[in-house]
Amino acid sequence: MNERTPHSDAPLPSEGRPGALLPEYARRHLQGTVAFAIEEDLGDGDLTAGLIPEDSTATATILTREQAVLCGSAWAEEVFRQLGGVTLEWHAGDGDLLEPGTTFCTLRGNTRRILTGERIALNFLQTLMATATTARRYADAVAGTRVTILDTRKTLPGLRDAQKYAVLCGGCQNHRLGLYDAFLIKENHITACGSITDAIRAAREQGPGKKIIVEVENLDELREAAALEPDQIMLDNFTPAMIAEAVDLAPQSALEVSGNCTLEDARALPGNRDLYLSSGALTKNVQAVDLSLRLVDPPL
Annotated catalytic residues are 119, 154, 186, 215, 236
Residues in binding site for substrate: 119, 152-154, 176, 186, 215, 236, 258-260, 279-281
What CA–CA distance (Å, rounded) separates 169 from 163? Answer: 10
The angle at the Cα of 235, spanning 234 to 237, to the nearest 5 degrees, equals 135
What CA–CA distance (Å, rounded) separates 82 from 217? Answer: 48
What CA–CA distance (Å, rounded) separates 162 from 54? Answer: 33
207 DSSP assignment: S
- Whether omega for the bond prior to residue 240 falls within 30 degrees of 0, making it cis, is no
Question: What element of type H or E holds 119?
Answer: helix 111-141
3-state helix, strand, coil in the chain (%, to 5): 40, 20, 40
**Positive/negative CA dihedral, 184, 130, 281, 246:** positive
What CA–CA distance (Å, rounded) separates 245 from 222? Answer: 10
What CA–CA distance (Å, rounded) separates 204 from 191? Answer: 18
Number of Cβ atoms within 10 Å of the Cβ of 40: 9
- Residues found in the chain: 300
Tell me how far CA of residue 245 lies from CA of 10, 148, 219, in angstroms. Answer: 34, 19, 8
SS3 165: helix
65 Cβ partners below 8 Å, 6+ apart?
Answer: 100, 101, 290, 291, 292
